[in-house]
A and B are shown apart, each in its own frame.
Chain A
Amino acid sequence: MINQYETVFIATPVLSEPQMKETVEKFKKYISENGELVHEEDWGLRKMAYSIQKKTTGFYHLFEFKADGSFINKLETEYRRDEKIMRFLTFKMDKHAVAYSEKKRREQESKKEE
């Protein structure tokens, strides 16, 4: 059953820029192989509300994709295996969430055009 998911993960700030790109690329390729990547957002280095693993900042990255339900377990084991990822959250989007994210994307596009 194809559902729409949204996953956010936090990578350790100690990574250099190319390392960060490489981890993002790895997950992007993994997701686009098993499903269809709808949207991608990079929040970059952000200060966290509390420290995780003694670090107070982290690289946030968001993927929005359509995939089969069984793929989520594989994705999460992949997250757990990769020690650069400090924390992750995957979220199954219901129809209101999907409508909300489309509306936001349209707003961003219209803002970019101005």
Chain B
Amino acid sequence: MAQNNSEIRYLTPLAVEVKKKKYCRFLRSRIKYVDYKDPQFLKKFLNEQGKILPRRLTGTSLKYHRKVAQAVKRARHLALLPYVTDMMK
């Protein structure tokens, strides 16, 4: 009984996700100011529904994540970005 769990055979090889080191794009490219007026750049931080992506996915540092969130909310106020949508990308 004990030995059969050692040679567990998977149908498909286990695709172990190689951990890509996330980096903050603002620190790397030394962008200091997130402009709320160009929606193209801000769209990189939104998902399909137009919601702001969390830091663990975008990997941005806290300071710049707050600036991005503030810029997205201003862009939404000015109708440059939708509050909610279905297929945005």
- For A, the interface residue count at a CB cutoff of 8 angstroms equals 17
Do B82 and A50 touch (CB < 8 A)?
A: yes
Do B33 and A99 touch (CB < 8 A)?
A: yes
Chain B contact residues, CB within 8 Å of chain A: 32-33, 35-37, 39, 74, 76-83, 85
Chain A contact residues, CB within 8 Å of chain B: 8, 10, 48-50, 52, 58, 60, 62, 87, 89, 91, 94, 96-97, 99-100
Report 21 cross-chain contacts, Cβ distance below 8 Å, ordered by A residue.
A8-B78, A10-B78, A48-B79, A49-B76, A49-B82, A50-B79, A50-B82, A50-B83, A52-B79, A58-B79, A87-B78, A89-B74, A91-B36, A91-B74, A94-B33, A96-B32, A99-B32, A99-B33, A100-B32, A100-B33, A100-B35
